[in-house]
Structure formats: C-alpha cells, structure tokens
Amino acid sequence: MDFKGVLVNIFGQNRQIVLCAAGTAVALIGLGVVYKYTRPEKKFSRVGVVSQLLVYPMKSGKVVSVETAECLRMGLKYGELRDRHWLVITEDGHMVTGRQQPRLVLVTLSCEGGQLCLNGPEMEELRVPLNQPNNPVVPCRDCGDDVSNWLTRYLESDKTVRLVHFEPHLKPQKPFEKDPLFPKDEKVAYPDAAPIMLMSESSVRDLNTRLDKDVTIYQFRPSIVVSDCEAFTEDTWDHIQIGKVELKRVVGCGRCVLTTVDPETGVITRKEPLDTLKTYRLTDPNQKTAPILGQYYTVKKTGVLHVGETVYKISY
C-alpha cells in the first residue's frame, strides 16, 4: 500500500476522532474570537504621580530612596538591594524588628562591589562578602558571625542576634496564611504582608493637620508614594497601572506601634501618630482595630518604575 493509501486507511479508522478534534479546535478558536470582541474594554483614569520609590533592604532598617526600581512579584528591586530580603533574628529564630528594637531604623544596609555594608550611629562601617555560600541555611542564609557581633553590639542586646538573607531557592512566606484576602499563590520574603504598600503624600498631610508634631512619610514605610491626588483616595484604587506595571489592591494597611518610631532618632513613643489615626481611620473591617493608612497591593504585571510616572486607575 502506498503512502496515500496508508493515510486514507488511518483516517477511515479514526474518522470520528479526527472530526471530534477538528470540531474542538474550531470551537476554541471561535471562543477566542468571541472573547476578544466581547471582553470589557479597559478604561484608564489619571489619579496621581509617583513622587517616591522606597526600598527597605533590611526589615525595619533605614530606607533607600531611588529614582527607578524594578517592580517584581515579591516587591521592589534596586541593583543588589531587594525590599525586605534581609532580616534580624534571635539565635532561636524569632524575628527582631523596630517594634522590639526601635534603633534598627537607623541601620543602613547597602551592597557595594560584591560586599554587604552595614552602618549605624557611633559604629564603624562593617563590610563582609555579599555571597557567602558556605554559611548555614536554616531556613534562610545566615550572614555570618562578624555581622552578628556588629548588630548585637549596636543594639546593646543581652541576647545574640543574627542577620539572615532570603534567597530565591528558599521557602517564602505566604500572605494568605495570615490573611485569606490574599491570593493563595502570593509569596513574599520578610514583609509583614504584601510585596507593595502604596500611599499618598496628601494622606500624611491630612494626618499632620491633626497632630501637634508633624510626621513624615518615612514613618509609614511605603514602597510607592503618590502625589497630586486627594487624601485617602488610594483607598479606592483597586486596580492601577504605572508604566507597564499593573498592581491589584488587596486590603488596607493596618497600622501598628512601629509608626510611633521616629525614623530620624530611633525613639519610640508608642503613642502618636497611632492614637490620632485610631480616632478617624478605623475604616476597614478586615483590619478590625487597626487604623488604615496606605494600601497593600500585589503585582500582576512586572516592569520598571520611575519617579515622575503617571498613576492610572483601571476600570471596565
């Protein structure tokens, strides 16, 4: 039997299967065409301008203000610095933040020439190799004894503390396990909840009209700061686009005692501005007793962000 005869024979034996597959393919193509022409069209409304991009390499550490940053699924990245990818812990594995050690907010963590650099008030700069593959990984990469000694002395801690680093192959945290409003597949390194926290300058200005002493945006540790908008309007930005980056709002950022740490002095009051916020910003039932200032977002489309870019609200 020639080749043509073989094909005819195969088709004859499997005619029903072939016709079914062809019908399925046609149906899928049809559905794609229908979806293309019937799906809701995106509408873009200008709502503000990016005025600051802020990276916190070490959780509770000093902020790094940048003009441009990569916006990845797990947060902002600037060179070797990734947002909240370093964390101070006790030797038995408990997290140490500015809530327990307010002077952490004065520690600068940077990366230069393949070295990890630490600076703090009245401390000599410490430089160690950034990549230390022989250091233990349980369950995150330990940064070594030199860093541990430096931080323990700086904090004047009666317990030894260590610095650890999150790396891509390690197990991330899942915000969903703390708050079911987050998607189950969402992952973060060491932020409290989301990879991105966004807030407006005008919301802080509104707060300052109610305080005896002004606070700055840095007291609230946002990732993206927006200007040229009304106070608290970010509460309504459920889906936004900045350049090619798309963000989806999940829940309001419930504020805690860390907001009462002065980022310039490292002094904690445990009072303001938290007490004042509680008088008028208990606005999100999902956060129960925590006042809201800023909003948590997940990253739906990654890209590069720039200070000065327009923020668009997406609706359908």
Report d(CA 34, CA 38) in Å as an integer: 6
Name the pTM for this structure: 0.86
Can you read off the two tokens belonging to residue 9? 């024979």
40 cis-preceded (ω within 30 degrees of 0): no
pLDDT at 22 over 60: no
Can you read off the two tokens belonging to residue 166? 């999150």
Could you report the per-residue pLDDT of 144-154, keeping only the tens digit for each? 999 999 999 99
Q: Which pLDDT does position 146 carry in this prediction?
A: 97
Tell me, what DSSP letter sits at residue 58? B
Could you report the per-residue pLDDT of 167-202, keeping only the tens digit for each? 888 888 888 888 888 888 899 999 999 999 999 999
Q: Report residue 296's pLDDT band, with 50, 70 and 90 as the boundaries.
A: very high
Tell me, what DSSP letter sits at residue 291? P
The helices-and-strands tally (H runs, E runs) of the chain is 5, 19
Please, which residues have CB within 8 angstroms of residue 234's CB and are 6 or more apart in sequence?
198, 199, 200, 203, 226, 294, 295
Other CB atoms within a 10 A radius of the CB of residue 115 amount to: 14
Listed range (142-146, 173-177, 295-299, 309-313) with the worst mean pLDDT? 173-177
Question: How wide is the angle at C-alpha 307 spanned by C-alphas 304 and 308, nearest 5°?
Answer: 115
Please, which residues have CB within 8 angstroms of residue 28's CB and are 6 or more apart in sequence?
none
Report d(CA 236, CA 233) in Å as an integer: 6
Classified by CATH at the fold level, domain 45-315 comes out as M1 Pyruvate Kinase; Domain 3 (2.40.33)
Other CB atoms within a 10 A radius of the CB of residue 210 amount to: 12
90, β-bridge pairs: 161
pLDDT at 17 over 60: no
172 cis-preceded (ω within 30 degrees of 0): no
Report d(CA 97, CA 187) in Å as an integer: 20
Nearest to 299 by CA among 239, 233, 248: 248
Q: Which pLDDT does position 86 carry in this prediction?
A: 97
Q: Report residue 10's pLDDT band, with 50, 70 and 90 as the boundaries.
A: very low
Domain positions in the chain: 45-315
Q: Which pLDDT does position 153 carry in this prediction?
A: 97
